[in-house]
Amino acid sequence: MKALGMTSTDGPEAVALEEMPVPEPGPGEVRVKLAAASINHRELFITRGMYPGMKLPATLGCDGAGTVDALGEGVSDATLGAEVVLYPGRNWGPDRDAPAADFGLLGMPFSGTIADYIVVPAENLAPKPAHMTFEEAGAMPLTGLTAWRALMFKGKLKAGDTLLISGVGGGVATFGLAFAVALGANVYVTAESQDVIDRAVSMGAKGGLLYTDPEWRRQVGKLTGGIDVVLDGAPSPSFANYVRAIKPGARIVIYGSTAGNEITFNATDIFLKSASIVGTQVGDPQDFRDMLAFVDAHKIKPVIERSFPLAQAKEALLHLQDKHSFGKIVVTM
């Protein structure tokens, strides 16, 4: 089979489609013939060796959808030929609030989805939502799950709440927008261009501000009327711009730090408003099930920017690095 392999940390230019043996499922495992995967920023970090717990060689990709192709010993709850989407992690453990120490994702440290086949534990399987194509289902797991947990489990977003998505356009932010609109929240965004704001508004956002405008700090309170939940993957320097506009009891949910690590905040803004700054990563299997049920009920589909065949998986990676603007990059087998 073909798989997007990685043997050095020389960046996305150094990855290559490799010929590998088709893997055999062990006890409790299943083999899935993949139909679609997607590209995430974590693959770019991994190719540069900038990810915790680096382990080489690796096959990349943690999002996947396909059909059940072979069952290992003792697997009773999976059916050959079933159309499935894969929970992107392994070994979350028993604590819903945080993953166990040996938690990891498909596509480093565990084998990845940008390949013709993958073997995973049977509990990683979930039914592909019936209203989605394989491409759509394969675009969803990591970023959809991260957005779901950030907003619903950690951010406790409710219908009627006001949500600020700080920096819309990426996968997590775009899923967050779709989920929050479907829930009935009032969603505002910041973005780097008016085009992206318009795109967000067409998906249901109430309005947006350009984060390139140094005045946005002054406008955000007036535009939103006060913020209940913030979703932010790059909280510096945005943090200081919205913290004054949060309402009592607000939840600022942080799922990344791609704009630098240091955040400075005023303790008084947080404690006098009974507000919280909440860190989140990925989500547990229950979050995944909850998200799939919600997606199914609301017939939500991911925004796909572009799709590449497996033979061009490396180009897909470079597209995310250099040309991405809004929505997910998909790889199809």
User: Which spans of this chain sit near a second copy (rule: CB under 8 A)?
Assistant: 52, 95, 97-99, 101, 235-236, 247-249, 254-257, 261-268, 270-281
Interatomic CA distance for residues 219 and 212, integer angstroms: 13
CB of 202 to a second copy, least distance (A): 29
Whose tokens are 């073997």? That residue is 119
From 48, 38, 40, select the one nearest 12 (Cα to Cα). Answer: 48
CB of 229 to a second copy, least distance (A): 12
Interatomic CA distance for residues 174 and 155, integer angstroms: 16
From 278, 328, 322, select the one nearest 141 (Cα to Cα). Answer: 328
Interatomic CA distance for residues 275 and 19, integer angstroms: 52
Interatomic CA distance for residues 128 and 296, integer angstroms: 10
Residue 106's DSSP bridge partners are 110
Query: What three-state secondary structure class fits 133?
Result: coil
DSSP 52-80: TT--SSEE----EEEEEEEE-TT--S--T
CA distances from 128 to 29, 118, 137, 146, 225 (A): 18, 16, 6, 18, 39
Based on CB atoms, which residue is closest to a second copy, 247 or 298? 247
Based on CB atoms, which residue is closest to a second copy, 143 or 332? 143
Based on CB atoms, which residue is closest to a second copy, 21 or 52? 52
CB of 24 to a second copy, least distance (A): 34
Based on CB atoms, which residue is closest to a second copy, 82 or 240? 240
Based on CB atoms, which residue is closest to a second copy, 34 or 275? 275
Interatomic CA distance for residues 212 and 233, integer angstroms: 16
CB of 268 to a second copy, least distance (A): 5
Residues, the chain = 333
Residue 57: is the preceding peptide bond cis (ω within 30°)?
yes
284 residue type, one letter:
D
Based on CB atoms, which residue is closest to a second copy, 136 or 228? 228
CB of 99 to a second copy, least distance (A): 7
CB of 163 to a second copy, least distance (A): 16
Based on CB atoms, which residue is closest to a second copy, 288 or 326? 288
Tell me if 187 sits within 8 A of 160, measured CB to CB: no
Based on CB atoms, which residue is closest to a second copy, 76 or 261? 261
